[in-house]
């Protein structure tokens, strides 16, 4: 089982095109861990902003009476993919993994598969 630091390192090294990764608590909007990013990608700002995205989708599903669970949310930009994976399991509720990818270097299907595997190894 992996801790937050190990999980983020695994995401950054095993997923082609990874630009940055964060583990975020969407109840508070706080990033519990950040790796990567840079001057053009402030992961603290991204964590807080994507918290609003997750909250809005959860609220919308509740209003629609949907009983399903969100696996992930994809935001497609001209040059990047932003992938938000909501975590499930003991001690993981209210958390999501956020991954920014270089669209030109990333394989989206493989990134989703890898992120699911990484989530399974995360110990909270």
Q: What is the mean pLDDT of the chain?
A: 92
Residue from 22, 52, 17 nearest 118 by CA:
22
Residue from 75, 20, 15 nearest 42 by CA:
20
CB 78 within 8 Å of CB 60: no
Spacing of C-alpha 101 from chain mean position: 11
- pTM confidence score: 0.92
Domains of the chain: 4-121 (3.30.450.30)
pLDDT value for 1: 56
């Amino acid at each position: 089982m992996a801790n937050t630091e190990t999980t983020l390192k695994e995401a950054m090294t095993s997923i082609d095109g990874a630009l940055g990764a964060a583990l975020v608590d969407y109840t508070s909007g706080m990033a519990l861990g950040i790796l990567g990013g840079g001057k053009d990608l402030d992961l603290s700002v991204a964590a807080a902003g994507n918290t609003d995205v997750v909250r809005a989708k959860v609220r919308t599903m509740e209003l629609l009476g949907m009983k399903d669970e969100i696996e992930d949310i994809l935001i497609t930009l001209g040059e990047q993919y932003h992938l938000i994976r909501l975590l499930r399991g003991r001690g993981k509720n209210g958390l999501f993994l956020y991954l920014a990818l270089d669209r030109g270097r990333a394989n989206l299907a493989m990134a989703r598969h890898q992120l699911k595997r990484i989530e399974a190894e995360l110990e909270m």
